[in-house]
């Protein structure tokens, strides 16, 4: 495998878009094929996982992971975007002096769906929803199913409410913030948002984009075994790998397993496979 295949964990700063970081990494590394797992809004900061080269084919295994956030909600003002970048469209003086944190927590944990923001990248007839919103065109956006497995109010200093949460893929924290405000019988918008984790990976394990250079980017690659700790590791001979890369099945004793990282004898990742009834079945070939 090329030494230019790998994953980078980046702690995105507030103010830059996720795609801007993709462009920056392309310029730094000279690699055009770069993807990431889960967009962050420009005003948000925190963990982004970038895949370089053919490793983009492995993003599917990371995209489904739950994500953790820390956020600050300002009560009393609603914006068109749900964050501090949009203009204020509604105000309310009904801001509670005190908060029943436990009651709010129980309400939030029962949420099964959330509204899709008008200013989002969700595609409508091939175009992102925000492209319609910017033109003042209203489109029907379906609520998105969500699962919130953790929620805690970490501070309440009116009008600011700070919270942390763990949510399923596709959950818009801006929408969650607006719903929190509704439950408190007021309006609100997010003024700060930070993604602290994706699955078992923490932002504390990430690098800053300014620390990545053309000369050192491969040294920042995150260990593949630590990215996929629940995958079985399988080392095969060159002959076996040739058979597998040609789409052939090979015998291999062991229990049935759906997610297996396939390495060559030198420890270079070659692909992903599964085992069924003592047979290795290729799934992803990183060499093709």
- Binned at pLDDT 50, 70 and 90, residue 118 comes out as confident
SS3 breakdown of the chain: % helix, strand, coil, rounded to 5? 25, 35, 40
- Binned at pLDDT 50, 70 and 90, residue 32 comes out as very high
pLDDT in tens, 63-94: 989 999 999 999 999 999 999 999 999 999 99
Alpha carbon distance 128, 121 (integer Å):
5
User: Comparing 6-65+201-226 with 67-198, is the CATH topology the same?
Assistant: yes
Query: Do residues 270 and 225 lie in contact, with contact meaning Cβ atoms separated by under 8 Å?
Result: no
Answer CATH for 6-65+201-226 from 3.40.50.2300, 3.20.80.10, 3.30.565.10, 3.30.2350.10: 3.30.2350.10
Task: Mark 150-161 as b/e (b = at least 16 C-beta within 10 Å).
Answer: ebebeebeebeb
Instruction: Give me the CATH code for the 67-198 domain, please.
Output: 3.30.2350.10
Q: Is the pLDDT of residue 49 over 60?
A: yes
Which tokens in the block code for residue 173? Answer: 């924290």
Query: Do residues 159 and 144 lie in contact, with contact meaning Cβ atoms separated by under 8 Å?
Result: no
Q: Is the pLDDT of residue 16 over 70?
A: yes
Q: Is the pLDDT of residue 122 over 90?
A: no
211 three-class SS: helix
Q: Is the pLDDT of residue 224 over 80?
A: yes
Q: Is the pLDDT of residue 10 over 80?
A: yes
79-88, 118-127, 149-158: which has the highest mean pLDDT?
149-158
Q: How far apart are the first and last CA of the chain?
A: 11
Q: Is the pLDDT of residue 1 over 50?
A: no
Mean per-residue pLDDT of the chain: 93
Alpha carbon distance 38, 5 (integer Å):
19
Q: List the domain boundaries for the chain.
A: 6-65+201-226, 67-198, 230-285
Residue range 29-52: mean pLDDT, rounded? 94
- Length, in residues, of the chain: 288
pLDDT in tens, 236-279: 999 999 999 888 999 999 999 999 999 999 999 999 999 999 99
Tell me the catalytic residues.
41
Instruction: Give me the CATH code for the 230-285 domain, please.
Output: 2.30.130.60
Residue range 158-186: mean pLDDT, rounded? 97
Give the rounded percent of residues in the chain with a pLDDT score beyond 70: 99
Residue range 137-153: mean pLDDT, rounded? 92
Alpha carbon distance 69, 150 (integer Å):
10
């Amino acid at each position: 495998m090329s030494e230019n295949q790998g994953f980078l964990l980046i702690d995105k700063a507030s103010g830059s878009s996720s795609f801007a970081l993709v462009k920056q990494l392309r310029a730094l590394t000279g690699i055009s094929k770069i993807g990431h797992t889960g967009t962050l809004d420009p005003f948000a900061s925190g963990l982004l996982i970038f895949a370089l080269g053919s490793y983009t084919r492995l993003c599917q295994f990371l995209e489904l992971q739950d994500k953790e956030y820390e956020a600050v909600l300002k009560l009393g003002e609603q914006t068109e975007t749900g964050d501090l970048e949009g203009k204020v469209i509604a105000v309310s003086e009904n801001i509670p002096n005190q908060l029943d944190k436990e009651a709010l927590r129980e309400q939030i944990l029962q949420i099964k769906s959330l509204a899709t923001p008008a200013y989002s990248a969700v595609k409508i007839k091939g175009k992102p929803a925000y492209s319609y919103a910017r033109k003042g065109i209203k489109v029907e956006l379906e609520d998105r199913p969500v699962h919130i497995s953790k929620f805690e109010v970490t501070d309440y200093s009116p009008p600011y409410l700070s919270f942390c949460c763990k949510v399923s893929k596709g959950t818009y924290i801006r929408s969650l913030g607006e719903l929190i405000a509704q439950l408190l019988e007021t309006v609100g918008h997010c003024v700060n948002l930070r993604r602290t984790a994706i699955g078992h990976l923490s932002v504390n394990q990430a690098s800053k984009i300014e620390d990545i250079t053309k000369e050192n980017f491969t040294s920042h690659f995150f260990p593949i075994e630590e990215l996929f700790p629940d995958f079985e590791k399988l080392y095969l001979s060159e002959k076996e790998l040739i058979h597998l890369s040609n789409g052939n099945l090979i015998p291999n004793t062991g229990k049935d397993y759906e997610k297996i990282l396939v390495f060559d004898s030198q420890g270079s990742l070659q692909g992903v496979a599964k085992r069924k009834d003592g047979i290795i079945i290729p799934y992803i070939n990183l060499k093709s």
